[in-house]
Structure 1
Amino acid sequence: MAGINYARWDHLDSSSDEESFSPPTPPTSPRRPIRPSSFVQQDRPLPCNEELRAQVLREEEELAAFVQRNPCPSENTMKAWLRNAAHQEGPPDEGSQTFSQLMRHMGWTPKKLGWFDYPSFRVLWESAGRRCPGAFLDQRRAGRELYEQGGRECMQFHYYALHYAMCGDSVLHGINKPLPVYGFASHLGKVWDGIGSWLA
């Protein structure tokens, strides 16, 4: 007689996507108007210094190459990773912080997974590889949509989810990340300046 495959039973205890990713309680903080960013312009000027200009262009090429080699993970992959992070328990890993630990530190319960908006996440991921006014506009639009969905906390959630997914090893396993990848979230934080209560 064939043995029973218990692997499929592992999913019985886990909640469905509809439950895990249903919208959380809307934010109660007052809405603030969206104003232009005072930190980053749509057409970012390159440095006048030739050496600095070459460095900026080289870093942008490295980031674009990274995004081309590592397309945005699928919605199912991201939701599985987020669900695992939300339900993970135990002591922190030695010498590293995980998205799970960040969620606990921020007080984000599993119900906050409802903030996750894959289309916005994907737009942000893909925009990392482009230096053009369109990338800036896509990043601003995604930030506005996330703010409307769940306020500043929803924006923070995506800011950190993007950073940990791009830079950590839990989503992109064993991939060497160039230095500009680690700075992309910081760039995004500046682009979002002035969206509601978000300040760079």
Structure 2
Amino acid sequence: MSTIDYSKWEKLQEGSDEEMFQQPLPPSSPRQPIKVGPFAVANPRLPDDPTARREVLREQKELRDFVRLHPCPAEADLRAWLRRMHEQSEKPQVKHGTFAWVMRNMEWNSEHLAWFHYPSFRVLWESAALAPSTAFAGQRSAGITLYERGGKPCMQFNFYALHHAMAGEDFHANAPFPVYTFAGDIEKVWDGIGSWWA
């Protein structure tokens, strides 16, 4: 009896993986204009109180230092992680606070993985190492690209994926507090992009 050549099967699976991440679902609601909302400020004002101002500046430095030590994961690693999160989201027990848990609660399935857009994701990750005024343009541009790909749901998918990849334990452990609050900064920068409101 001859042995089975599984190499062709692996190639088929690779091809289907490519398809899984290539065709994003279209937006489910009509397009809305892209505006700059009131929370989308390129250079947010620092607190007047010297102690509070020092704390904000300290947290910004802590975030920058963290991102310099933890560069954005490779696209292949993030795709593998997203596939794993999808598989875990379908299990009866899903660990609370994980991206798999978010996927289940948002009712995202394998088709929604195509919303993942690595170039935008990487811009957002790397923007955490920049001053807010420098990061603003790239963060807005990434949000607009995601909105054009799949509307607000596509933005949400990448927003939550970014937060869980940066602050979760799948790529590194013990992220400092400013990493957890970074998503809130993105949320404000995206204010007014279509139906995204901070």
Match of 1:182 in 2: 180
Does the 8 Å contact 1:63/1:180 carry over to 2? Answer: yes
Shift in Å, 1:43: 1.5
Equivalent residue letter for 2:188: K
CA distance in 2, matches of 1:27, 1:8: 37
- Which runs of structure 2 are paired with 1:125-144 in the superposition (5 Å)? 125-144=125-144
Supply the RMSD in Å over aligned alpha carbons.
Answer: 2.2
Classify 1:9/1:56 alpha carbon distance in 2 versus 1 (closer, same or farther; 3 Å): farther
Classify 1:30/1:9 alpha carbon distance in 2 versus 1 (closer, same or farther; 3 Å): same
Match of 2:58 in 1: 58
Shift in Å, 1:105: 1.2
Does the 8 Å contact 2:24/2:149 carry over to 1? Answer: no
Match of 2:82 in 1: 82
- Which runs of structure 2 are paired with 1:183-198 in the superposition (5 Å)? 183-198=181-196
Classify 1:183/1:10 alpha carbon distance in 2 versus 1 (closer, same or farther; 3 Å): farther
Shift in Å, 1:107: 1.1
- Which runs of structure 2 are paired with 1:15-54 in the superposition (5 Å)? 16-54=16-54
The normalised TM-score by structure 1 is 0.88
Aligned residues: 193
CA distance in 2, matches of 1:78, 1:21: 11
CA distance in 1, matches of 2:131, 2:181: 14
Equivalent residue letter for 1:38: P
Higher alpha-carbon deviation: 43-52 or 23-32: 23-32
Does the 8 Å contact 1:81/1:171 carry over to 2? Answer: no
SS of equivalent to 1:111: helix
SS of equivalent to 1:27: coil
CA distance in 1, matches of 2:39, 2:140: 13
Equivalent residue letter for 1:167: A
Deviations 1:123-155 (A, max 9, x none): 000001211423011100100000000000000
Shift in Å, 1:37: 2.4
| Structure 2 unaligned blocks of 5 or more | none
CA distance in 2, matches of 1:85, 1:126: 23
Match of 2:92 in 1: 91
CA distance in 2, matches of 1:109, 1:90: 12
Shift in Å, 1:91: 3.3
Larger helix proportion of the pair: 2
The normalised TM-score by structure 2 is 0.89
- Which runs of structure 2 are paired with 1:148-167 in the superposition (5 Å)? 148-167=148-167
CA distance in 2, matches of 1:25, 1:10: 27
Match of 1:199 in 2: 197
Shift in Å, 1:22: 2.4
Deviations 1:37-83 (A, max 9, x none): 20131122211110011000000000000000000000010010001
Match of 1:110 in 2: 110
The share of aligned pairs that are identical, in percent, is 49
CA distance in 1, matches of 2:120, 2:152: 15
